[in-house]
Structure 1
Amino acid sequence: MIQKLAEKNGLPFEWININGADESEIMRVAKEYGLHEASIKDSLENDHLPKYERLQEYTFVILRVYDPQDSKVADTVKELTNKIAIFMADSHIITIHKNPWKEIENISNGVVKEGVCKKTEHVLIELIKAGLKSFNQPAGELTDEIEFYEKQVFLKNRKAPILKGLYYLKRKADVFRRLMTMSFDMVDKIDPPNHSNVYTRDLRDLHIKQQAIFDSLTENTNHLLNIYFNISSQKTNETIRILTIFSVFFMPLTFIVGIYGMNFKHMPELDWAWGYPGSLVLMGVITLCIYIWFRRRKWL
């Protein structure tokens, strides 16, 4: 569906929004405004990463915003985000997206139609700022999930496996971190060091903040996974240690029982009156000696 969110009769530019990414509508708009076929191809790719490209006639930007599916195990760029393709020229700006994004209407009604944006570049900056701010929600959710799993790893001893949850947590953090890294080139070109202003500087500060948050979340998730594996390994080693101790106690006893369980005809101890209690006393003495030895070595 093609919408005109701003027209030249009241503004110095027009804003065309294509919601639904219908290919026939996109090609019609592309022909009317002279959009390059390579840019159109990129705008139709659902899993395209953030991109900033300055052509002779216009600037082409691909923006990814947080828009997850209902599935709790969503962990890819396509499943966690919505792609917004933006074509910006001095006289017009065109936005293309497959799934609805309410921030476009908010910017149109609250910023553009109020006359705050004087140029298409200002609209582009507002769109990118809204896209970066959309990641505030997953940042908070991932932080809460990390705290939850930290409690499970450090404070509780539950039998339910948490490795699957940690895996999806790591995947999501890696996806958002990669998107922030890929967005750097876009922000850096919009806010060059020699031509920085209030609007573009605010955009760079927001990107730096989001990048730092997801870098920290990724590192914390990796540390938590390493700690989980170390604790699991430690528990396994403790179990093996206990089983080994039990086996050491029973090995000499099994040896004695094995000897006197042999069916030889001439075994004088079998005829002794004190043979049975003597063997029990011998087993007890051996067990006590092993216990004292373990205590002195501080293995118990």
Structure 2
Amino acid sequence: MRKDLAEKEQHGFTWIDLSSPDDPEFGAIAQTYELHKAWMKDALQADHLPKFEKQKQYSFVIIRHFDGEHASSQADTVKELTNKVAIFLGEDYIITLHYNGWTALDDIAEHAVKDGDCTAPLQVLIEIVRAALNSFEAPGMKLNHSIDLYEEQVFLKNRKGPMLKGLYYIKRKVDVIRHLLLLSKDVIERLDPPGRDDMHTRDLRDLYVKQQSLYDLLSENTNHLLAIYFNVSSQKTNETIRILTIFSVFFLPLTFIAGVYGMNFEFMPELRWVFGYPGVMLLMAAVTVIIYLWFKRNKWL
């Protein structure tokens, strides 16, 4: 579906937005603006990663934004977590192409373009990239909150299998978004107009650094939390083995004594001795007390 979000007669440039276009519709626009076939193919690939390409006549940009509406709790791939927007940028036109609806484009057209804040296609592109970067802030805060909850469970509650699975998905989401932000850096660095440093692009770089720092911190915290999880789990296992070992030390000599007297040899004095059974019980009790005192002396209990 085609929408004309800005017209050259009214705004000084043309903005054509294509949502899930069919081949004839996109082909007609590509022929009008002489779009490169290879870039047209890239624009139609739903899982293409961010990039910036430039020719004399126009530039081609791919940017990805977080898909908050359709991403499931277990989404952990680029295609599942984000949507792609392909952008063809000329001197007096900008063409955006995407497959899933993104309200940020309509907001930019309604406020920035119609209010006169964007008077050139490059400024529209800057606003689109800014909106894409801002889309990662809310999921970053949500992931940070989830990490805090898991951290509380690691230290204060029982550790279970679903918790490890949840940590895995958090780590995957953070790694995927970090990778996308890293690839988006080239797009942001090449947005400056030739020969000058623009104020809008400086703000955009500051926003990029903020988001990159947030996800770097999330990645570091997630890795530390996973390491702590395994260390605490290992410590818990060692504590269980320690308790079982203590029990085995107590019962091993008692089992030996019981085994000896369970052989029932005919010539065993204690068998016909009236105090034989109480004597063996007292021996077992004495061995237990000695082992206990030995453990306490060495501070093993």
TM superposition score category, shorter chain reference: over 0.9
Cα distance change, pair 24–269 in 1 and its aligned pair in 2 (3 A): farther
In structure 2, relative to structure 1, the CA distance for the partners of 1:4 and 1:249 (3 Å cut) is same
The equivalent of 2:200 in structure 1 is 199
Secondary structure of 1:83's counterpart equals strand
Cα shift at 1:193: 11
Name which of structure 1's ranges 194-203 and 1-10 shifts more when overlaid on structure 2: 194-203
Q: For the Cα contact (< 8 Å) 2:86–2:97, is it kept in 1?
A: yes
Contact between 1:65 and 1:134, CA under 8 Å: does it hold in 2?
Answer: yes
Q: CA RMSD in A?
A: 1.5
CA separation in 2, counterparts of 1:24 and 1:83? Answer: 21
Q: Secondary structure at the match of 1:190?
A: coil
Instruction: Tell me, in whole angstroms, the C-alpha distance in 1 between the residues paired with 2:262 and 2:21.
Output: 84
Give the structure 2 partner of residue 49 of structure 1.
49
Distance 2:262 2:157 in 1: 47
Match of 1:178 in 2: 179
Output the CA distance in 2 between the equivalents of 1:12 and 1:173. 40
The within-5 A match list for 1:127-276 is 127-157=128-158, 161-191=162-192, 195-276=196-277
CA distance in 2 between counterparts of 1:119 and 1:193 reads 14
Say which SS state the counterpart of residue 18 (structure 1) adopts: strand
Greater displacement, 16-25 / 42-51? 16-25
CA distance in 2, matches of 1:63, 1:127: 9
**In the alignment, which residue of structure 2 is the partner of 1:6?**
6
Cα 1:192–1:35 change in 2 (3 A) is: closer
CA contact (8 A) 1:21 1:44 kept: no
Of 61-70 and 141-150, the range deviating more from structure 2: 61-70
Distance change (3 Å), C-alpha of 1:168 and 1:133: same
Counterpart residue type for residue 177 of structure 2: F
| 1:8 Cα deviation from its structure 2 partner | 1.1
Question: Using a 3 Å threshold, how does the CA distance of structure 1 residues 236 and 193 change in structure 2: closer, same or farther?
Answer: farther
CA distance in 1, matches of 2:253, 2:182: 64
Cα displacement string for residues 121-178 of structure 1 (whole angstroms, at most 9, x for unaligned residues): 1111011001101111101111110111111111223656410111111111111111
Paired position in structure 1 for 2:30 = 30
Q: Is the 8 A contact 1:63 1:128 kept in 2?
A: yes
Gaps of 5+ in 2: none
Residues 43 and 62 in structure 1, CA contact (< 8 A), matched pair in contact too: yes
SS in 2 for 1:162: helix
Query: Residue 159 of structure 2 contacts residue 233 of structure 2 at CA under 8 Å; is this kept in 1?
Result: no
Q: In structure 1, the residue corresponding to 2:292 is in which secondary structure?
A: helix
Report how many residues are paired: 300
CA separation of 1:282/1:295 partners in 2, compared to 1, >3 Å: closer, same or farther? same
Change in 2 beyond 3 A, CA 1:247/1:194: farther
1:161–1:9 CA distance, 2 compared to 1 (3 A) = closer
How far 1:28 sits from its partner (Å)?
2.2
TM-score using structure 1 length: 0.96
Counterpart of 2:17 in structure 1 is 17
Paired-residue identity, %:
56
**TM-score by structure 2 length?**
0.96
The residue type paired with residue 41 of structure 1 is K
- Seen in structure 2, the aligned counterparts of structure 1 residues 193 and 235 have a Cα distance that, compared at 3 Å, is farther
Corresponding residue of 1:116:
117
* Contact 1:85/1:95, CA 8 A, preserved across alignment: yes
Q: Which moved more, 1:49-58 or 1:227-236?
A: 49-58
Structure 1 pair 70–129 and aligned structure 2 pair: CA distance change class (3 A): closer
Aligned equivalents of 1:194 and 1:85: distance in 2? Answer: 26
Distance 2:25 2:265 in 1: 98
Cα distance 1:58–1:192, how it changes in 2: closer, same or farther (>3 A)?
closer
Separation in structure 2 between the aligned mates of residue 103 and residue 234 of structure 1, nearest angstrom: 49
The answer to whether the 8 A contact 2:65-2:132 is kept is yes
Query: What corresponds to 1:94 in structure 2?
Result: 95
Matched position secondary structure for 1:4: strand
User: What is the SS of the residue equivalent to 1:95?
Assistant: strand
Instruction: For 2:195 and 2:255, locate their aligned partners in 1 and report how far apart those are by CA, in whole Å.
Output: 84
Judge conservation of contact 2:19–2:99 (CA < 8 Å) in 1: yes
Q: Give distance in 1, aligned partners of 2:238 and 2:21.
A: 56
Is 1:60 aligned to 2:36, yes or no? no
